[in-house]
């Protein structure tokens, strides 16, 4: 009976998640970003907006890849069906630890083009709806999408560096963002393991209840410089939108979007 009830709750939660608008961020939210030795890492996976959202339960049907990286160490993250928080990681390493999550391909159906146009404009593609019309695509159509997320957790100290996990769409810290907070840090954006120049990136921050959202663009080198503030939680996010496969197996999706996010919390100086 207990398993049946848990399964039912899980199905209800998962069904509600599929109804959330695609124009929402996807991020890893650790309960604690800075851990002591032998302390377990616990983190929710959220779909939402501006640091407010709905937690996703752990399910193999959603998480295609889940790994923990620390220097040369790489461990597969395992979980139990329906767990919220989704991530409970017992084995952590001293210094910087990077959680990597990649979702399976999902689909969203648009009944009217106007919602797609609002979404694409907000994400840096102001002419995509017009291209949709020029291609004689219907107003009612599917879009496929995948989500890629990383989160930075420290254990005991802030030594270490970020990891290039080879995801199709990824943010990478070229400088340690938890040290020397009086200096700006470089954040690289890669698509298909190549730098993505002149691309829109959103930076959301939360400090003592004060929320701020900024927009930057990567330079010719595919990165941007940013000065982090102390004791502040950050969600960095970007979206790439490309032509969909337009094949039956993908619901004849006309467009495909890739989402990447990175979360961290800076320490006190």
What sign does the dihedral 166-171-173-179 (CA atoms) show? Answer: negative
What is the rounded CA–CA span in Å between residue 76 and residue 66? Answer: 6
pLDDT, mean of residues 22-48 = 90
Q: Domain limits at 15? A: 2-265
Task: For 165-176, write each residue's pLDDT tens digit.
Answer: 999 999 999 999
Confidence category of residue 92, pLDDT binned at 50, 70, 90: very high
Half-sphere exposure of 143 (CA within 13 A, CB side): 27
More confident residue, 82 or 18: 82
Q: Is the pLDDT of residue 9 over 90?
A: no
Number of domains within the chain: 1
Q: Which helix (H) or strand (E) holds 224?
A: strand 223-226
68 in Cβ contact with 58 (< 8 Å): no
Task: Report the distance separating Cα 153 and Cα 53, nearest Å.
Answer: 21
Q: Report the pLDDT value the prediction gives residue 8, as an integer from 0 to 100.
A: 52
pLDDT exceeds 60 at position 240: yes
CA-based nearest residue to 187, from 92, 262, 83: 262
In this predicted structure, which of 27-41, 57-71, 144-158 has the lowest mean pLDDT? Answer: 57-71
Query: What's the CA gap between 150 and 28, in Å, rounded?
Result: 7
**Which residues are CB-neighbours of 100 under 8 A, at least 6 positions away?**
65, 66, 67, 68, 69, 149, 150, 163, 165, 167
Q: Would you place residue 21 in the very low, low, confident or very high pLDDT band (cuts 50, 70, 90)? A: very low
Per-residue CA distances from 207 to 29, 43, 158, 210, 234 (Å): 15, 19, 20, 5, 9
Cβ-contact 169, 258 below 8 angstroms: yes
């Amino acid at each position: 009976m207990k398993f049946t009830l848990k399964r039912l709750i899980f199905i209800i939660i998962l069904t509600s998640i599929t109804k959330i608008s695609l124009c929402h961020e996807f991020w890893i939210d650790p309960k604690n970003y800075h851990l002591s030795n032998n302390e377990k890492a616990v983190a929710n996976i959220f779909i939402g907006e501006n640091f407010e959202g709905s937690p996703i339960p752990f399910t193999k049907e959603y998480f295609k890849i889940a790994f923990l990286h620390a220097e040369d160490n790489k461990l597969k993250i395992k979980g139990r069906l329906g767990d919220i928080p989704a991530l409970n990681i017992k084995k952590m390493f001293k210094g910087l630890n990077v959680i990597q999550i990649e979702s399976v391909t999902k689909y969203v159906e648009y009944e009217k083009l106007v919602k797609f146009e609002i979404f694409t404009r907000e994400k840096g593609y102001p002419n995509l709806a017009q291209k949709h019309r020029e291609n004689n695509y219907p107003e009612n159509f599917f879009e496929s999408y995948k989500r890629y997320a990383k989160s930075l957790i420290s254990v005991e100290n802030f030594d270490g560096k970020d990891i290039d996990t080879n995801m199709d769409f990824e943010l990478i810290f070229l400088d340690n963002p938890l040290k020397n907070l009086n200096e700006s840090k470089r954040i690289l954006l890669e698509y298909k393991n190549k730098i993505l120049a002149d691309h829109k990136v959103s930076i959301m921050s939360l400090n003592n209840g004060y929320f701020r959202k900024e927009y930057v663009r990567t330079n010719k080198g595919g990165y941007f410089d940013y000065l982090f503030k102390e004791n502040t939680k950050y969600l960095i996010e970007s979206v790439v939108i490309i032509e969909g496969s337009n094949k039956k197996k993908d619901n004849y999706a006309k467009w495909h979007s890739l989402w990447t996010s990175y979360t961290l919390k800076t320490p006190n100086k």
